[in-house]
Amino acid sequence: MEIPPRVRGMQDIFGEYQRYFTFLKKVARHEFRTNGFGRITTPILELKSLIEHSSGESSDIVKKELFDFTDKWGREVVLKPEGTPGVMRAYLESMREEPQPVYLYYIEPHFRYDRPQKGRYRQFHQVGAEIIGEEDPILDAKAMYTMQNILDGIGLKDSYTLKINSLWVPKEREKYLLELTSFFETRKHLLDETDLARLEKNPLRLLDSKNEDVKELLKIAPKMVDFLKKDSLEFYSKVKEYLDILGVKYEEDHTLVRGLDYYSHTVWEFVDGSGRTQDAFGGGGRYDGLAKSIGYKTEVPAVGFAFGAERLIEAMMDRGVKLKNKDQIHLYIMQLGDDAKKLSLPLNIEARRRGLNSLIGLGTPSIKVQLKKANKVGARFVLVIGIMEAKKWVCQLKDMEKGTQVEVPLSEVLDKVIAEVGESSLSFYHPTRDFIIEEPIIVVEEEVITSTVILP
């Protein structure tokens, strides 16, 4: 029987790619935390109606890209294609009484039945955030500022352009859409099947067309900015003013609409300038009408954004961003015989306690095979305890970088290795260090009693 292959459009994340993914998550988490965001995790499964009502039934996500099925109870459910609808649902169910606005971020897998290509998978990961509960243009600017800091933090500074636009609110778009529809009605012969459907169901999506003829027509088509009403124009102007204050550079692109129906007011994208069809690192926008579209009684002001993690990782790798390998093995301990094994076990534990990344060649009796393993993991030093070394409490220490070998007493060998690799290379992190052990003061009739909280 053949081993079943990986499902098309999915990927296994390991090795060097996993190191870049871990680095991206750490940078993003740090940026979110320092900007007041708390983490949220929403279910992989959502009701299909949530996505239909949020993304729009005419969107490509709903029409072409959903992993949807009927569960055992007859409910239509989907693997979530994006994060925003689920976060808004969670907010409406559980967070309306919290101090507003609520800052939330997520780093999660999502699913779209899309054509697999470079940087685009059917299971992909989004690094995203939402600010819900207040309508203020400074929040839009803060969201873009946060995105810029993440891009710069992962080594992609100066490799992107921020494009922004305003979509106003649905009522204000009506006159513009009439003008845009009229313009393209007389030029239908230049539209392909996809754009003809857009013209009929949602003309605004023509601004996002990949058809070269349509792109040329858009240069002379009615411009959205010319139809901005006073309040929307003021909101958009303030967003740009705050971006200037924050030092965020941008370009205005009045054809930018994003791919989802729920956006209003500000929208934006960070693009790489490659000219490819898929050139966006990520984007976002304001979506005050989303809550009402999924069934809530009123609009809820909100703004958010998301990056495609795979897109960022491949950009980092293409640009040659180098990462420190904190998993590099400092010391590989090899042993031969029971006496040597008994010495190597506590030595390995002590090496790790002192900050050295150390491995031990257990389960492999042959020194030759153990040495191959040491070479394969890239160990800087190899420590060998044979039968004779165990009797004398010494070892043979091989410096794999310099190609030297010396005999060292076991009591001194760790000091020697640490001196060579350097204090800065040592790792003392352990998650239990994140616990805070408090000593609360309990006052009873003028007496002070100190009680220590002991962690289980």
What kind and span of H or E run contains 302? Answer: strand 302-308
Asked if residues 35 and 144 have their Cβ atoms less than 8 Å apart, the reply is no
Is the per-residue pLDDT at 18 higher than 70?
yes
What stretches of 69-158 show up as alpha helix (H) in DSSP?
Answer: 84-94, 137-153
Strand partners, 78: 46, 68
Q: What is the pLDDT of residue 82?
A: 94
CA–centroid distance for 48 within its chain = 24
**Which listed CATH number (3.30.70.1150, 3.30.930.10, 3.30.70.1070, 3.40.366.30) goes with 15-168+228-319?**
3.30.930.10
For residue 59, what are the contacts with CB-CB under 8 A and spacing of at least 6? 259, 260, 261
Q: How many CA atoms lie within 13 A of 129 on its CB side?
A: 25
Strand pairing category for 161-166 and 264-271:
antiparallel
Could you tell me which CATH number the domain at 331-431 has? 3.40.50.800
Quote the CA–CA distance of 89 and 91 in Å, as a whole number.
Answer: 5
Query: What angle do helix axes 84-94 and 48-55 make, rounded to 10 degrees?
Result: 110
Q: Amino acid identity of 343?
A: L
User: Residue 349 has what pLDDT?
Assistant: 95
Q: What is the pLDDT of residues 179-221, one digit of tens each?
A: 899 999 999 888 998 888 888 888 888 887 888 888 889 888 9
Q: What is the pLDDT of residues 54-64, one digit of tens each?
A: 877 667 777 78
Q: What is the pLDDT of residue 291?
A: 95
**Concatenated DSSP letters of 235-275:** HHHHHHHHHHHHT---EE-TT---S-TT-EEEEEEEE-S--
Q: Which residue has the higher pLDDT, 439 or 408?
A: 408
- 121-158 pLDDT, tens per residue? 899 999 999 999 999 999 999 999 999 999 999 999 99
Q: How far is residue 279's CA from residue 257's CA, in Å, rounded to a whole number?
A: 15
Going by C-alpha positions, the residue among 337, 342, 340, 335 that lies closest to residue 359 is 335
Domain with CATH 3.30.930.10 in the chain: 15-168+228-319
Q: What is the pLDDT of residues 41-56, one digit of tens each?
A: 999 999 999 999 887 7
Task: Tell me how far apart the alpha carbons of residues 147 and 22 are, in angstroms, rounded to a whole number.
Answer: 18
CATH 3.40.50.800 maps onto the chain at 331-431
Residue type, 53: H
For the record, the structure tokens of 97 come out as: 């009484």
pLDDT attached to residue 424: 86
